[in-house]
């Protein structure tokens, strides 16, 4: 299967600081990546769609100025949580579609980043 990595796997930061999370597709090129957030005992909620070379598309209710997404290359997307607050503490997961087969749309997830804001 395809491999998607995330870094860091966990991070603790102080309120008001910014945190950058990296998502990489290791063995395929991903023109599109997705960022999700998952609070305890809840399902994944899509935050934004990250497109290589263009601006991200944010879901309703997600502040684009707070959650900065940059898809700088076909294998890397970054999510920066700016001026983090305790309510931003969550499990952030990225995913990418592996276009290895035409008509194939399997989406693979990174291992996730657990963010704790104190």
Partner 1 sequence: QKEVEQNSGPLSVPEGAIASLNCTYSDRGSQSFFWYRQYSGKSPELIMFIYSNGDKEDGRFTAQLNKASQYVSLLIRDSQPSDSATYLCAVSRSGNTPLVFGKGTRLSVIA
Residues of this chain that bind partner 1 (CB under 8 A): 1, 31-32, 34, 42-44, 46, 49, 91, 93, 95, 97, 103, 105-112, 114
- The distance of closest approach from Cβ of residue 80 to partner 1 in the complex, given in angstroms and rounded to an integer, is 20
- The distance of closest approach from Cβ of residue 117 to partner 1 in the complex, given in angstroms and rounded to an integer, is 18
Q: Which residues of 47-74 are buried (b: 16+ CB within 10 A; e: fewer)?
A: bbbbebeeebebeeebeeeebbbebeee
Select 70 or 107, whichever has its Cβ closest to partner 1.
Answer: 107
Select 14 or 102, whichever has its Cβ closest to partner 1.
Answer: 102
């Amino acid at each position: 299967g395809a491999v998607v990595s995330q870094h860091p796997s966990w991070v603790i930061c102080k309120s008001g600081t910014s945190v950058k999370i990296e998502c990489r597709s290791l063995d395929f090129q991903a023109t599109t990546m997705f960022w999700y957030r998952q609070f305890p005992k809840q399902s994944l909620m899509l935050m934004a769609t990250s497109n290589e070379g263009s601006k991200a598309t944010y879901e309703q209710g997600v502040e684009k100025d707070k959650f900065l997404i940059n898809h700088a290359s076909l294998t890397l997307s970054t999510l920066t949580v700016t001026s983090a607050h305790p309510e931003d503490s969550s499990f952030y997961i990225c995913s990418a579609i592996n276009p290895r087969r035409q008509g194939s749309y399997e989406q693979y997830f990174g291992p996730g980043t657990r963010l704790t804001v104190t």
